[in-house]
Amino acid sequence: MARRDDRQELLEAGNGQFQIPTHGCVAGADQQSLGGAAGPFEVRPPRLDLSPGVPPVTGDSVQLQQVILNLMLNAFSAMSGTGLDDSRCLVVRTHSIDESNVLVEVQDSGVGIAAEDLESIFDPFITTKPDGLGMGLSICRSIVERHGGKISAANNPDCGATFSITLPAAR
């Protein structure tokens, strides 16, 4: 798990189109989510499982942080529907798939995604939230695809869902 100093260093990796540490995208989103004293993760902060040696990706760090932050906020919303504060668990992972690709996963222990919604969850104006606009995941997909990546969602075997982002590693 990254220390606070490490997170700040990763955040300062820059803004713009250039190589950024994959951990910087995750740490930046994590820092934003934990910024306020009464943030959405005050029951249990997200667990970061950042594999060592994950190569950087090329892209806009602010946009990639926004994708991860949106997925984390959606996860919290899904977990609030369980009513079980002690069992809530949000994990953000990074892995090297191979020399050319990086995987970022956001896994929650929420209510999961209805099977009929899995096919259309990234389409514009599709929402499962009573007050949702249906734009968040659509924008996430657009950002990820603009960075040469893919995003998908699947239900976990026990409970909750995992969103997986595959991005090309910087060359």
Model pTM score: 0.77
Q: DSSP string covering 102-162, please? A: EEEEEE--S----HHHHTTTTSTT--SSTT--S-HHHHHHHHHHHTT-EEEEEE-SSSSEE
pLDDT value for 29: 54
The domain containing residue 99 runs over which residues? 4-168
pLDDT tier at 34 (50, 70, 90 boundaries)?
very low
CATH of the domain at 89: 3.30.565.10
Instruction: Give the total number of structural domains in the chain.
Output: 1
Average model confidence (pLDDT) for the chain?
79
Per the model's pLDDT, the better-predicted residue between 44 and 121 turns out to be 121
Tell the burial category of 9 from Cβ atoms under 10 Å away from its Cβ (0-12, 13-18, 19+).
middle
What is the tens place of the pLDDT at every residue in 110-134? 989 999 999 899 999 878 777 878 8
